[in-house]
Chains A and B, each alone.
Chain A
């Protein structure tokens, strides 16, 4: 079966996110000063062939832990659905 994973990789909440901080600051230039605490991560989609949803989940976990996220600095979560 083919599954699609939608993965979000975000900086750990206790870690400084300089990019999010700069974007937060710029919101007031746009007249949107009610927006705060912007944090910026990555959204990744991928397709995966697996027998079961559990097997697909295991593989996506591995991909996230080994490559897609740097667990020292980032956390990830994802949703899976059948293609």
Chain B
């Protein structure tokens, strides 16, 4: 490689490496790297690939569990045993920064990426979810982002053909510049038929399959060094285009090739493309590779070695095939009209040797590139922000209770954070696959049939960013608790989580404190609910210079299992005359509620009331009630408080309700407070006795609120809060009002 110019610490800095990292690279190589090699280290040691600023804390999360088949970090996605010889493979991932630039393609390629993580392991995706955060909905930029992101998710996911079964959308000014786009996918695979992201067997051919490689995702900024001429900067696409059609073909071809038994290991190409897949698979399999970069099918001419190595072109897979079975593999990809090219072979060197037209252009050790190997690990400084003192000084007494609570109810119903997300989810195919059991059964979680078994999966994504901002540790524990509550209310058993950790700049100690605190809260809650963390991703730098960091948002994607799909439980009131009970305790608390934030416009508050042990006990009570078939409907109290929960239960069947408030606490707190650990259930008259008897066998608080009524009116303490159909008309059309038909 003597012909290749050596790099300097200045180039390393241009590529985002620290001077000490440059020294370490020289030490590893025993010489100064050339530009190809330096580029390789720069991307592999970036936060995105190495988790260098987060791994210390991620390692503290609970990962053990009887159902775990692949633990966090071992594979592309978590793998959980669901019984009957089947496993569920699931993961959530962010695509925030691409979506901020070009919302349609950014969101679409996010959906593509997360689904590839699932089927690269051999699982067929069966459900998708997404969790979205946008700024003030009145801003033109926000409207542009919402429309683009939703259309992007829809167009990609719908064509790919996997139903979207759940999600959340939240608006707050802190996301004005940086929206959050988190996409989750879950798939099913037979235990023992998964494929690993590994590589071994000297002489085995290495294939690249799927789309041709272009100069996609090679970040102009980081690579605007002297090695890039003006011309080549101009042909670096700033946006990646997703092709869901190609992805669908790749899915079918991939699953077919796995069935053929010819595959040694496989990994999709996401961040850092070929180099990432080569190094991670080789490190895991403790082998090396010789790759001829000129054999990679390219979409653009004259691509440089480092461009081919780093390209993030979509819809590609790297497959190591057992030697002698090339014809089988090639026939399958030919059947699906996909590119399929041998680009190299497995070696016993534990090094990656890259050649271009026969010339060695890079020579790096695989192990030193990857997380858990030689990639750097940093302990970052963290410090409690000053604003926490202001949050903790909040007192409910300082907030005057409004005279007219009906007006508050109307305010919440027409708030985009509370109102129906119909405008969004009607653009997603939620029914393809004919497995979504919750299309016609409204439920707190998406429930997906596992065909051929008695089981169903329950899936949810949850995080109230405002709670996490108020108190990252409590707020993140609440996110886990709410996810578990949703699974339990739907009739399932919480099993495991995946997380998507969206934060600002980790080099700011106050931001890093939010991250560390959230991890602590997650650990605590996941331990309690016995829902190990199977993986996920970290997205830092969701921050603009003008507006500061976004609300910290550790999105929790939770998997639950219904051992008997008949226990699926819905949120809707069924019959007039059924009694309405609150399970859990009302609290004199309005902290961090939508009511406090948007009606009173208060922005300093602690997290809402939350007691992890009581929450857990309450879940056990709900599970028992569902198992004993003592409840007609179950719906958790979440954003907007009890009033919104009651309305959501009433609106499906045109029924109403009549309840009495609790005079020991403020009525605004009773109706609109967001204290955790509460669930609304309805009980048939003939089962009330048995219900009360069951509840008396445990310590969980419960109280009679009132009854479901035939009249479609909502009556609280003899005062009407409106007729359900009229309120629903408003609730259903709020987002249309902002975003158009």
Chain A residues proximal to chain B, CB less than 8 Å:
11-12, 14-18, 21-22, 25, 70, 72-73
Q: Is the CB of A17 within 8 A of B241?
A: yes
28 A-B residue pairs with CB within 8 Å? A11-B241, A12-B237, A14-B215, A14-B235, A14-B237, A15-B214, A15-B237, A15-B241, A16-B211, A16-B216, A16-B240, A16-B243, A16-B299, A16-B313, A16-B314, A17-B241, A18-B241, A18-B243, A18-B245, A18-B246, A21-B243, A22-B245, A70-B102, A72-B101, A72-B239, A73-B105, A73-B239, A73-B241
A16 surroundings in chain B (CB, below 8 A): 211, 214, 216, 240-241, 243, 299, 313-314
Most buried by A among B102, B241, B245: B241
With both beta carbons as reference points, the residue of chain B lying nearest to A25 in the complex is identified as: B337
A72 and B102: CB pair below 8 A? yes
Q: Does B404 contact A (CB under 8 A)?
A: no
The count of residues in chain B whose C-beta lies closer than 8 Å to any C-beta of chain A is 23
Least Cβ–Cβ distance between A46 and chain B, in angstroms: 23
Among residues of A, the one whose C-beta sits closest to the C-beta of B105 is: A73
Complex interface residues of chain B between 612 and 671 (CB less than 8 A to chain A): none
A28 nearest CB neighbor, chain B only = B337
Query: Which A residues lie within 8 Å of B102 (CB)?
Result: 70, 72-73
Tell me the bound Cα distance from A12 to B216 in angstroms. Answer: 12
The secondary-structure label for the interface of chain B is loop
User: Bound state CA distance, A26 and B245, in angstroms?
Assistant: 13
In the bound assembly, the distance between CA atoms of A18 and B246 in angstroms comes to 8
B240 / chain A contacts, CB cutoff of 8 Å: 16
Contacting pair A14 B300 (CB below 8 A):
yes
Q: Which residues of A contact B300 (CB under 8 A)?
A: 14
Q: How far is the CA of A21 from the CA of B246 in the complex (A)?
A: 10
Bound CA span A25–B238, Å: 26
Q: Which of B101-121 contact A (CB under 8 A)?
A: 101-102, 105
State the CA gap A51–B674 with chains docked (Å). 63
Identify which of A15, A17, A22 contacts B239 (C-beta below 8 A). A15
Bound complex: CA A70 to CA B235 (Å): 16
Which of A17, A18, A21, A73: most chain B Cβ within 10 A?
A18
Q: Which of A16, A18, A21 has the most CB of B within 10 A?
A: A16
Q: Report how far A73 CA is from B152 CA in the complex, Å.
A: 15
Binary contact track B243-261/A, C-beta < 8 Å → 1, others 0:
1011000000000000000
State in angstroms the CA–CA spacing of A22 and B159 once bound together: 14
Measured CB to CB, the closest approach of chain A to B97, in angstroms, equals 14
* A14-B214, A14-B215, A25-B337 known; A72+B245 contact, CB < 8 A: no
Cα-based distance from A25 to B245 in the complex (angstroms): 12
Within the complex, the shortest CB–CB distance from A25 to chain B, in Å, comes to: 6
Interface residues of B in 517-542 (CB under 8 A from A): none
B447 to chain A, nearest CB (A): 33
Mask, B194-218, CB within 8 Å of A = 1, is 0000000000000000010011100
Q: Which residues of A contact B211 (CB under 8 A)?
A: 16
> Would you give the shortest CB distance from A45 to chain B, in whole angstroms?
25
Q: Which residues of A contact B337 (CB under 8 A)?
A: 25
Interface centre among A12, A22, A73 (most CB of B within 10 A): A73
Q: A25-B337, A70-B102, A73-B237 are in contact. List 20 more A-B contacts (CB 8 A).
A: A12-B237, A14-B235, A14-B237, A15-B214, A15-B239, A16-B214, A16-B241, A16-B243, A16-B313, A17-B241, A18-B243, A21-B243, A22-B245, A72-B101, A72-B102, A72-B238, A72-B239, A73-B105, A73-B239, A73-B241
Bound CA–CA A14/B299 (angstroms): 8
Within the assembled complex, what's the spacing in Å between the Cα atoms of A25 and B338?
A: 10
Shortest beta-carbon distance, B458 to chain A, in Å? 34
Give Cα A18 to B237, complex, Å: 15
**Taking the nearest CB of chain B, how far is it from the CB of A77, in angstroms?**
17
